[in-house]
Chain A
């Protein structure tokens, strides 16, 4: 089946630094990728939707200058948390939707990145 690789799986950084999270579709072309965030003991929250070659669409309340999303190719999207602060500590997950015919309506998920900002 389709595989989405997300890394790093865990990152610890100092406050004020920037962190990049990568999401790769390994065996299909991901025309659309989604980025989610999960706070402890809460459900997933959609942050933004990115389409290859165009600017990401951010959900209300998500700072686009804070969370930079790049979807420069059909197999890679990146989320950069800029000038990270402790309140950015969270679990970030990507998902990808591809053009694999019958399965293209489904999402495939990365395994997530646990970000801890000290």
Chain B
């Protein structure tokens, strides 16, 4: 059983579409992270959340602590958004989702 579940596992979208990636977790946390891994392998931390909502450019992340759920939204998606998106949570120990592979087609 995974402490962090992401859905969908794979996602293909047309350029311009609104995209949502979901993350559910089963452990108590102090923070939730959304990470982006590009095909080259490098990882970028997109957001760190402990409550509410954060926005950065076309990316929006929300978290509902009571429901133990977070969503990552991408508005006006672009081919350069193609990457693997990983949800991770931590209190002391980290737990990671297995990632959502996003492909945005021009």
**Interface residues of B, CB < 8 Å — how many?**
23
Instruction: Give the interface SS of chain B, mostly helix, strand, loop or mixed.
Output: strand
The answer to whether A107 and B43 touch across the interface, beta carbons within 8 angstroms, is: yes
B34 to chain A, nearest CB (A): 9
| B45 in contact with A106 (CB, 8 Å) | no
In the complex, how many residues of chain A place their beta carbon closer than 8 angstroms to a beta carbon of chain B?
A: 25
Contact A46 B42 (CB under 8 A): yes
CB distance A106 to B33 under 8 Å?
A: no
What is the predominant secondary structure among interface residues of chain A facing chain B? strand
CB pairs A–B below 8 angstroms (16 shown): A9-B93, A32-B41, A34-B42, A44-B33, A44-B43, A44-B88, A45-B45, A95-B43, A97-B41, A106-B101, A107-B37, A107-B43, A108-B96, A108-B98, A109-B88, A109-B94
Residues of chain B whose beta carbon lies under 8 Å from any beta carbon of chain A? 31, 33, 35, 37, 39, 41-43, 45, 47-48, 84, 86, 88, 90, 92-96, 98-99, 101
